[in-house]
Amino acid sequence: MNTLVSPMDSVAVAIVGSGGAGSITAGSLLLEAAGRIGWYGLMTRSVGPQIRGGEALAMVRLAGAPVGSHGDHFDVLLALDWHNADRFVDEVPLNANSLILAEAEAGEPPAVIMASGARLVTLPLESLAEGVEEGRPNIVALGVLARLLALPLDELLIVASRALERKGLDVDLLQETLKTGYDAAEILDDSIRALPPAPARGTRWRLTGNEAAALGALRGGVRFAAVYPITPATDLSEWLAVRLQRVGGHLIQAEDEIAALNMVLGASYGGIPSLTVTSGPGLALMSETLGLAVAAEVPAVVVNVMRGGPSTGIPTKSEQSDLNMALYGLHGDAPHLVLAANTVSDCLSATQWAVQLAEALQCPAIVLSDQFLGQSQSVCEQPVDHDGLGVASRLVAVEPGSAGRYDRYALTDNGISPMALPGTPGGQYTADGLEHNAHGIPSSRAADHRAQLDKRRDKLLHYDYGPLWADVEGDGELAVVVWGSATGPVREAAARARAQGLAVKVLSLRLLFPVQPTRLSALLAGVQRVLVVEQSHSQQFYGYLKAHYALPGEIRVLNQPGPLPIRPAAVLTQLLQWR
Amino acid sequence: MNTLVSPMDSVAVAIVGSGGAGSITAGSLLLEAAGRIGWYGLMTRSVGPQIRGGEALAMVRLAGAPVGSHGDHFDVLLALDWHNADRFVDEVPLNANSLILAEAEAGEPPAVIMASGARLVTLPLESLAEGVEEGRPNIVALGVLARLLALPLDELLIVASRALERKGLDVDLLQETLKTGYDAAEILDDSIRALPPAPARGTRWRLTGNEAAALGALRGGVRFAAVYPITPATDLSEWLAVRLQRVGGHLIQAEDEIAALNMVLGASYGGIPSLTVTSGPGLALMSETLGLAVAAEVPAVVVNVMRGGPSTGIPTKSEQSDLNMALYGLHGDAPHLVLAANTVSDCLSATQWAVQLAEALQCPAIVLSDQFLGQSQSVCEQPVDHDGLGVASRLVAVEPGSAGRYDRYALTDNGISPMALPGTPGGQYTADGLEHNAHGIPSSRAADHRAQLDKRRDKLLHYDYGPLWADVEGDGELAVVVWGSATGPVREAAARARAQGLAVKVLSLRLLFPVQPTRLSALLAGVQRVLVVEQSHSQQFYGYLKAHYALPGEIRVLNQPGPLPIRPAAVLTQLLQWR
Amino acid sequence: MGKPQPILSSLEAKDYKSAVKPIWCPGCGHFGIESALFRALAHLGLPPEQVAVISGIGCSSRLPAYTECYGFHGIHGRALPMATGLKLARPDLTVVVASGDGDAFSIGGNHFIHACRRNVDMTCIVMDNEVYGMTKGQPSPTTPPNWDCKIAPGGTGVSPFSPLMVALASGAGFIARGFSGDRNGIAKMLVEAIRYPGFALLQVLSPCVTFRPEEKDWRLQVHPSELPTTANWAEATRRLAADDGMTTGIFYKAELPLYPATVMEPIDQLNAIETELTL
Amino acid sequence: MGKPQPILSSLEAKDYKSAVKPIWCPGCGHFGIESALFRALAHLGLPPEQVAVISGIGCSSRLPAYTECYGFHGIHGRALPMATGLKLARPDLTVVVASGDGDAFSIGGNHFIHACRRNVDMTCIVMDNEVYGMTKGQPSPTTPPNWDCKIAPGGTGVSPFSPLMVALASGAGFIARGFSGDRNGIAKMLVEAIRYPGFALLQVLSPCVTFRPEEKDWRLQVHPSELPTTANWAEATRRLAADDGMTTGIFYKAELPLYPATVMEPIDQLNAIETELTL
Ligand SMILES: Cc1ncc(C[n+]2csc(CCOP(=O)(O)OP(=O)(O)O)c2C)c(N)n1
Ligand SMILES: Cc1ncc(C[n+]2csc(CCOP(=O)(O)OP(=O)(O)O)c2C)c(N)n1
Ligand code: SF4
Ligand code: SF4
Ligand SMILES: [Mg+2]
Ligand SMILES: [Mg+2]
């Protein structure tokens, strides 16, 4: 994979403004226009606590290689106004090379922002906009950015006119507004921070992680979903609802999360691959029902889009702190599948794989995504159709009972027992969360308990998960072990370290449970130092690694809670200091 | 602590019979009579799947030292009839030295039982009982056992007449019935298996772990409880309900477990130490609310009486498999207290301590007990009033706001902030599960999140838990690390190993979270081999130890799921084989 | 969405009984409901494999394994959403829910009111013994306030509610009450409930002889409704408002809009959706 | 159990307002409810520290921090049990619950029906905007079936239920509806609700101007009830059965037995209990 090696390979732009100023629209249009001519990109939005309106920030990073983080610093901070903009100061690190472009009439920039040493240039965006009929300052600003980034104006015009057409904006006037900004940016020609060359044209997708996960579910064959809304997972459900309708499936909003997962189990028991979508508090509520899916061996997928915790926490911000609950949050010995997406577009593969594994192994699968992956828009390559990741299939009992009693929980070699679907004559059985014998009859006998515990563990252990279980990049005596969205900054840091002559191996685990200690050991053969990177306060991932894997050599941990992302520079510093 | 060193130090009797035969009554009376004259003892009951009636088994072990397990073999199996008795065969291991006493008219004993090689003696219990007015075979059997165990008949008469008085049984007739059995047992005089000498008279308590936990809660100051019934925790609630009434408190049955814990939080927010009681599936449902207690810093105690899992599992049997969920089952980074009781009577101390810690640390505490501890009757010494375990106290804000704004979540040195109780002028604040600043106002700022995460972690880390955190016995290069009810058989095995010249150290952890790595390391200094013992299928305790502690030297794990208990001999074998 | 047609005309009640021995106490009211269900299914001629019996946890909820139908013995209180998911995914099946007063009205109360409202086609039998049988005798939402028990010495002091009134208020379209001692009576109501296209609720008074032995007297207290089934909501409200809780019969049966969507054959290709994501 | 007596006679509405700035959208109906609550508390002369406002999660549930009272902003749907625990532990406090149609009737539906039945003394305000505001526009149990939205394109097809009817069926003793545009009207009802010794439910129609802009028309649609408050359950049932959902007023107010127990002074010593355990 082609990666970002130097901060110069990319351009990071932040656009801030108060409610209605259009900073988010400007950011989106910038991303889309760049994507259309072959760039990669990432856009993340951040807003204040108000339900509607209030200050908003668009963070856009564009590059000639896939973008998995917002980098270390922003090259440009464009302020449509300064209203409450200081709340974003932590999210938009600037340095002396950064450029602050501000509306001239907006007054003094907040002192904390100026403290970065960045150069300030003011522009009369509002009065320029007033000079054009229907002119808007955010579109003027886009024109400014186009010149600064050497981005063709006509691409911006295409995306802007398409996006704004339902508002009835006139294309010629739009063009004029953009041009006004472009011309006004002449004074910035000394700062031109042109994008590096675009790698290729026309192969790009634009999607959020939540959309990607929904599409992965559809590709995997999911045709029923039951959900309860929760930030930041609701948009996944909303995107999926209408698409499920189109493919003949159905999404139902349940009365709560417990109902949602029970509906999923009911539909799945009926033979339809099914899923639910939630975030921390909702996953907590599903814990009892997940245990039922384990014991009764019913496939089910739960996509958990993590947010800041504990409790209601920080619903609109990202954190990797539901790991423990996903791995261990069920009562009893309840082996199940836990997967994690490590890029926006990987939300697709991880979810599709989860559907496949859940169906193949008759077991619930939790997919961990997070607010950053789920709600960031990525311009990326068309998500790979990984080998073998097609429509999921389940081992169905075709003529159950034809050769005697049908044993739903038969002890087979690989632990997977053919499942009779309701409607099939001779396959009648009662799925049960009580411990049972092979036939499904409740039993408290030690031998039955042991046999079924073994079966449920072994079916997961003996399955061949193939290469998808982890992404491996590079080589060296120094390895970084990471998971989920922390992979983006780690990859970038590793690429930079390599450019500086330090060999670094990166392992990003996609399959978190069942654990793969032999495979990890093989991959870590020869490694002397391991850096563990994660976005949690209590080193949950490191605890998990210690519990289940033998990590070689010296170990360090770089962990940090949300809401701020881990930056490549922080990882790079750790790597370089450790030479 | 005085421990069982040889199997000869105790007598283990199993009494089996079909519904209504009175095997459980006989077992209880035997235990009580022995206890009255200074014996220690333990009685556990086991029943078939029928809701009422059906076969029942009483397992009673009596000894001159505290009894923490049922040992390896039963000395006597007394069968009032053989109806479905074979279902208990795994629970009642017999060997060639065992004696089977069976009702003469009950027919052949099940072959699996005779396969043990035990000696069979039949007695006409029923016809003997018929010979006395109001005579019952189970009371005749008690007379038989009295002779066999050299237990004074008059003690049995006292307990039996008290227990049966509400059935209106005549004392003289009872005595006659007992005597009939006693006399009939003459043929057994070659088998007299007299109890070892009783250590002391009159200091014994008789209680179950569930009663002990309830009493611990009361001692700790709990005056409000909200529960939802669930096996095997319901009897704790039922015992507590009437006692709370007597001390001016109240127990309410909520509509479900989620309501129960939220009621507890409401009452605790109001300043009253409060608790709920549940088992696996209920704890799973409480997970989201536990996170709220962590984030909003509200004291609360949850006693979780573990049963076989996963899902509905084996509700009437014991297992230590909710450990993972108790430790890690909350979303977000949610540090909380997890304690475990390691004997029946320790359910008292563990719960009382939990109340104290929860109140002192403004944090939820989960107490792990299990079906074995909770529902076994122990005859034991009066539970110690551990140093400093009195009535819990909370750091209350006395004159909040008198020196300016009252900050509910003020960042103090030890992380504990004075809590204003509703009704106190000037202390008004809003408790919140959203991340907040020191004042309690919702905040998504990184600095506030970090400060509160640090605070919530550090208050637990910096507290001095004193010696109660673990029980330590013995010394040696070989150590057993154990928790909960598995401690009983481990202690017994260690005592036997020591008697055979093998030095063994036993560490039983009472405080599972926060972890105490420095203390454990200090205790394990010089240890070369560590045996981890637990009753779970997936080595949950071992995983926990690996994640949080550095265990020295070579490590082995003895783990086994429920429903059968870990036997001292299994532990002893591991220890001796490892010399 | 249509109900499967009888394909075997010769099914008898015993064809629906499995080999699993009930754990119920001798004399438990639940036996009567089991046998009434078999009679109803036989009468309808529904092949056992076309029927799914979904339950939660409780003595009552043990029913599925005692039938020769497909079954799911789920977790406490959650049978209704599970049945909802199943029916939406598999509209061809006949879905029956077996529940108890604790399972349906206490922990499952939220799903109960929402199932009434949502109107997915299924039959919900609540075996109401006004107690938690399985956990050995605690009060449920239908237990009288002064019932003395260990967990609430002297009684809870809380008035029981009428589940049928709550169901009506929540939007259920078929509301009936039976008595487990009257097997044929329940069987008949079940036939009508299963035929009813929507959510049908049948509360069955089912004595718990072990923990509420006084309920044996129900036999003397139940009485059939003197009024015919009404399709008028306000009228049904009036009747249930005046009801003593011991009346049996189908009180209310109305035509209501069914929950509209299920899983069906695809009407669009996934490709079309994927294309929308390309720039 | 008695309500605290006013000790300050000079409290004004503004004394109940905290310094925390609401996150609500300009024009949100919830503002009206906030201010009505302040008026009611001032009218009752309740010292702010004697009042606890308990909520779940939602725009509506943000209310506690905006008051100068004690507050608990708990988790979604669970305010009622939390308030129950608080009131039983601290009968001296005035307990007010702030909830929304999603919080109280969807995820919190079970606690809602049981709070109605249990009758612990508290006032429950449900700010009903027939939508999930906080999560940006999904249908709630009171949303019309044909309301088109992203998560249910074309509408859910499920009929809304009347929470007041459900409350009545579940046993609530004080049932009222107000409109957030009528601050004085709500304030008056709140005064009566808080004085009512038992569980008092006040549904307030509170437009969500952002996700249900059409609700601005509610101003034109609401109308006060023409009938006086009744204490007769059957009568209340009839009236709610005929209600159009836009009537405001106190429909029902009855004397019902309160939940009997609270935490009190000890009446026995722990020692006595311990002694029972000795052999
Ligand atoms: C989450 C959870 N909480 C509690 C229980 C314990 N439990 C099992 S059955 C039951 C009550 C059953 O009562 P009901 O539904 O009336 O059925 P009955 O036994 O009376 O037929 C309870 C509380 C459980 N299994 N799961
Ligand atoms: C367990 C859980 N599930 C879901 C959510 C997400 N959530 C927050 S508020 C809300 C709905 C609020 O609707 P309502 O109660 O009507 O309040 P409103 O915002 O309309 O005033 C939801 C679904 C959550 N916080 N917790
Ligand atoms: S306990 Fe009651 S409900 Fe349960 S089986 Fe026995 S009689 Fe029936
Ligand atoms: S989203 Fe609706 S309910 Fe929420 S604050 Fe805005 S207007 Fe009010
Ligand atoms: Mg019942
Ligand atoms: Mg709402």
Residue pair A230/A97 in contact (Cβ under 8 Å)? The answer is no
Partner residues linked to B337 by β-bridges: B365
When pLDDT is averaged across residues C35-63 and rounded to a whole number, the result is 98
- Residue A269 DSSP class: H
Instruction: Indicate the CATH number for domain B211-381.
Output: 3.40.50.970
Confidence of residue A190 (pLDDT cuts 50, 70, 90): confident
Distance C130 CA to ligand 5 centre (A): 5
Confidence of residue D71 (pLDDT cuts 50, 70, 90): very high
Burial of residue A111, with CB atoms counted within 10 A of its CB: 0-12 exposed, 13-18 middle, 19 or more buried: exposed
What pLDDT is recorded for position C67? Answer: 98
* Percent of residues, chain A, with pLDDT higher than 90: 89
* D contact test, residue of A45, A51, A210 with most D CBs within 10 A: A51
Say which CATH architecture domain C13-277 belongs to: 3-Layer(aba) Sandwich (3.40)
B5, two tokens: 């060193």
Radius of gyration of chain D (CA): 19
What's the rounded Cα separation, in Å, for the pair A2 and A24? Answer: 28
Residues 274-333 of B with CB under 8 A from A: 280-281, 283-285, 287-288, 291-292, 294-296, 308-317, 319, 321-322, 324-325, 327-333
A568, two tokens: 């490549």
Per-residue pLDDT reduced to its tens digit, A511-567: 999 999 999 999 999 999 999 999 999 999 999 999 999 999 999 999 999 999 999
Phi, psi of B516, deg, nearest 5: -125, 65
Ligand 3 site, residue C137, Cβ cutoff 6 A: no
Radius of gyration of chain A (CA): 26
Confidence of residue A2 (pLDDT cuts 50, 70, 90): low
Q: Out of C73, C109, C135, whose CB is closest to B230?
A: C135
pLDDT at A198 over 80: no
Confidence of residue A165 (pLDDT cuts 50, 70, 90): confident
What pLDDT is recorded for position A547? Answer: 98
Partner residues linked to B558 by β-bridges: B533
Per-residue pLDDT reduced to its tens digit, A292-350: 999 999 999 999 999 999 999 999 999 999 999 999 999 999 999 999 999 999 999 99
What pLDDT is recorded for position C6? Answer: 46
- Alpha-carbon torsion angle C165, C166, C171, C177, nearest 10: -50
What pLDDT is recorded for position A201? Answer: 61
Question: What residues contact residue A563 under an 8 Å CB cut-off, 6+ apart?
Answer: A308, A314, A317, A318, A319, B444, B445, B446, B449
Partner residues linked to C123 by β-bridges: C96, C200
When pLDDT is averaged across residues C129-154 and rounded to a whole number, the result is 98
DSSP per-residue codes, B97-128: T-EEEEEGGG-SPPHHHHTT--EEEEE-HHHH
H helix or E strand, kind and range, residue A260: helix A257-269
Partner residues linked to B227 by β-bridges: B253
CA distances from B308 to B347, B373, B563 (A): 19, 14, 7
What pLDDT is recorded for position B1? Answer: 45
What's the rounded Cα separation, in Å, for the pair A421 and A268? Answer: 9
- B332 and A308 within 8 Å at the Cβ level: the answer is yes
Which stretches of A5-151 are assigned E, i.e. beta strand?
A: 10-17, 40-47, 56-63, 76-79, 99-103, 119-123
Q: Tell how far CA B95 is from the center of its chain.
A: 28
Domain range A467-576, CATH class: alpha beta
Q: Which of B303, B340, B475, B342 is nearest to B68 (CA)?
A: B342
CA angle B416, B419, B423 (to 5 degrees): 175
Residues found in chain D: 279
Residue D82 contacts A where some CB pair is shorter than 8 Å? no
Per-residue pLDDT reduced to its tens digit, D26-58: 999 999 999 999 999 999 999 999 999 999 999
ipTM score of complex: 0.97
What's the rounded Cα separation, in Å, for the pair A555 and A551? Answer: 8
List CB contacts (< 8 A) between C73 and chain B. Answer: 312
What pLDDT is recorded for position C186? Answer: 98
B323, two tokens: 């450990």
Distance D209 CA to ligand 4 centre (A): 6
Q: What is the pTM of this model?
A: 0.98
Q: Which residue do the tokens 């301590």 mark?
A: B353
What's the rounded Cα separation, in Å, for the pair A263 and A275? Answer: 9
Q: Strand C94-100 relative to strand C70-73: parallel, antiparallel, unpaired? A: unpaired
Choice from D60, D61, D210, D218 to test ligand 4 binding pocket (greatest atom count within 8 A of CB)? D210
Q: Which residue do the tokens 């089996």 mark?
A: B16
Residue pair B98/B74 in contact (Cβ under 8 Å)? The answer is yes
Partner residues linked to C253 by β-bridges: C174
What pLDDT is recorded for position C2? Answer: 43
Per-residue pLDDT reduced to its tens digit, A342-397: 999 999 999 999 999 999 999 999 999 999 999 999 999 888 777 678 889 999 99
Per-residue pLDDT reduced to its tens digit, C212-225: 999 999 999 999 99
B59, two tokens: 């397992």
Residues 120-179 of C with CB under 8 A from B: 132-136, 138-139, 141, 150-153, 156
- Residue B293 DSSP class: H
pLDDT at A275 over 90: yes
- Alpha-carbon torsion angle D31, D33, D38, D39, nearest 10: 120
In sign, the C-alpha dihedral spanning B437, B441, B446, B449 is positive
Ligand 4 site, residue D129, Cβ cutoff 6 A: yes
Residue D89 contacts B where some CB pair is shorter than 8 Å? yes
Q: Which of B99, B111, B64 is nearest to B191 (CA)?
A: B99
In three-state form (DSSP H/G/I as H, E/B as E, the rest C), the secondary structure along B176-245 is HHHHHHHHHHHHHHHHCCCCCCCCCCCCEEEEEHHHHHHHHHHHHCCCEEEECCCCCCHHHHHHHHHHHH
- The side-by-side arrangement of strands in the sheet containing A40-47 is A119-123, A99-103, A76-79, A10-17, A56-63, A40-47, A377-381, A204-208
Partner residues linked to A481 by β-bridges: A507, A532
- D133 and A51 within 8 Å at the Cβ level: the answer is yes
H helix or E strand, kind and range, residue B246: helix B234-246
Taking only the tens of pLDDT, chain B with its 579 residues reads 457 887 778 999 999 999 889 999 999 999 999 999 899 999 999 998 899 988 999 999 999 999 999 999 999 999 999 999 999 999 999 999 999 999 999 999 999 999 999 999 999 999 999 999 989 999 999 999 999 999 999 999 999 998 887 777 789 999 999 999 999 999 998 888 877 777 766 578 999 999 999 999 999 999 999 999 999 999 999 999 999 999 999 999 999 999 999 999 999 999 999 999 999 999 999 999 999 999 999 999 999 999 999 999 999 999 999 999 999 999 999 999 999 999 999 999 999 999 999 999 999 999 999 999 999 999 998 887 776 788 899 999 999 988 889 999 999 999 999 999 999 999 999 999 999 999 999 999 999 999 999 999 999 999 999 999 999 999 999 999 999 999 999 999 999 999 999 999 999 999 999 999 999 999 999 999 999 999 999 999 999 999 999 999 999 999 999 999 999 999 999 999 987
Q: Which of B177, B199, B135, B141 is nearest to B3 (CA)?
A: B199
What's the rounded Cα separation, in Å, for the pair C240 and C235? Answer: 9
Question: What residues contact residue A167 under an 8 Å CB cut-off, 6+ apart?
Answer: none
Say which CATH architecture domain B7-202 belongs to: 3-Layer(aba) Sandwich (3.40)
Neighbours of A196 (CB within 10 A): 16
Distance A247 CA to ligand 1 centre (A): 39
What's the rounded Cα separation, in Å, for the pair B576 and B26? Answer: 37
Which residue's CA is minimally distant from atom 6 of ligand 4?
A: D25
What pLDDT is recorded for position A312? Answer: 98
CA distances from A284 to A34, A328, B330, B544 (A): 40, 11, 7, 21
Residue A228 contacts D where some CB pair is shorter than 8 Å? yes
Q: Which amino acid is at A457?
A: R
What's the rounded Cα separation, in Å, for the pair C98 and A422? Answer: 17
Distance B230 CA to ligand 2 centre (A): 29
Domain ranges of chain D: 13-277
Confidence of residue A91 (pLDDT cuts 50, 70, 90): very high
Residue D109 contacts C where some CB pair is shorter than 8 Å? yes
When pLDDT is averaged across residues A173-192 and rounded to a whole number, the result is 92
Q: Out of C85, C111, C277, whose CB is closest to A255?
A: C111
Residue pair A219/A391 in contact (Cβ under 8 Å)? The answer is yes
Residue pair B473/B549 in contact (Cβ under 8 Å)? The answer is no
What pLDDT is recorded for position D8? Answer: 47
Q: Measured over all CA atoms, what is the biggest interatomic distance in chain C, rounded to whole angstroms? A: 75
pLDDT at A432 over 70: yes
Domain ranges of chain B: 7-202, 211-381, 395-463, 467-576
H helix or E strand, kind and range, residue B495: helix B487-499
When pLDDT is averaged across residues A23-29 and rounded to a whole number, the result is 96
Neighbours of D197 (CB within 10 A): 15
A150, two tokens: 């050497």
Atom of ligand 1 nearest to the CA of C206: 21
B274, two tokens: 């409060």
Q: What is the mean pLDDT of chain A?
A: 95
Residues 411-450 of A with CB under 8 A from C: 420, 422-434, 440-442
Q: Which residue do the tokens 């029906």 mark?
A: D113
In three-state form (DSSP H/G/I as H, E/B as E, the rest C), the secondary structure along chain C is CCCCCCCCCCCCHHHHECCCCCCCCCCCCHHHHHHHHHHHHHHHCCCHHHEEEEECCCCHHHHHHHECCEEEECCCCCHHHHHHHHHHHCCCCEEEEEEEHHHHHHHCHHHHHHHHHHCCCEEEEEEECCCECCCCCECCCCCCCCCCCCCCCCCCCCCCCCHHHHHHHHCCCEEEEEECCCHHHHHHHHHHHHHCCCEEEEEEECCCCCCCHHHHHHHHHCEECCCCCECCHHHHHHHHHCCCCCEEEEEEECCCCCCCCCCCCCCCCHHHHHHCCEC
